[in-house]
Structure 1
Amino acid sequence: MRIGDYVERTANRGVFGNPMSQSTKDSALTASRAFFRDLQEWEWIPRRFDSGRALETPRSIRAPLGPNPRVIADEVHDGTAASPDAGIASVMTVTNLLPLLGVASSRAGRSCPC
């Protein structure tokens, strides 16, 4: 599928003819599945096929759409990263707030009862 395949507009904006991205193809198939499922559910057309199976996104399109993992810095993950405009709130971490809430942290020498 390419951008502008089923369009009558002849204005060329530089993107017509380029291949569609994998997520755009997946979105088009998802919308088509929902359209035919609704038509069959509302009994506007007879149930002759299962739109979920007939219009399933192929594995070749789904595979690149998986999660895009990235490394998160330890400071950000721990919640200790300070932003320049956060002020005093940037010093407060979950570990520092636990005693104020009456909860003993495992770092204070107490073990978790669970």
Structure 2
Amino acid sequence: MRVLVALVVLGTIVAVPPALAEAWRAKPELEKGAPASCREADVSNLVFDFSDTGNDLSLKTNGGEAFAAPIAADGFVNTTLTVPVGRRTFAVDLTGNVKTREMELFNKQYACRFRLTPVQ
């Protein structure tokens, strides 16, 4: 009987689905004091969907581009990706903390920095 109970308990533990990833959306907002050329970058329609799966951060733009980046133990993320802005794409560094959701994008070519603001 104990073997049966142990198998049922073990089966219940194994059958539990993995935890759902924590997801949120964010929009880029140009930082104050940015160079004038940065104000020409129309990011008004750009939205990021983030999903924290524990060890990786997956993100997808509303244009369909998908990326993944490892999450450090302290929640920090640092990766480079390309994002669509109008008819062009630009390389940006994505840095920040997944736990606090304080993240930013930085384009080295034009020295443009965008804070990612969570949206509903």
Q: TM-score range by the shorter chain?
A: under 0.3
TM-score, with length taken from structure 1: 0.18
**Highest relative contact order (Cα 8 Å, sep 6+), 1 or 2?**
2
TM-score, with length taken from structure 2: 0.18
Structure label with greater radius of gyration: 1
Q: Compare the two structures and name the one with the higher strand fraction.
A: 2
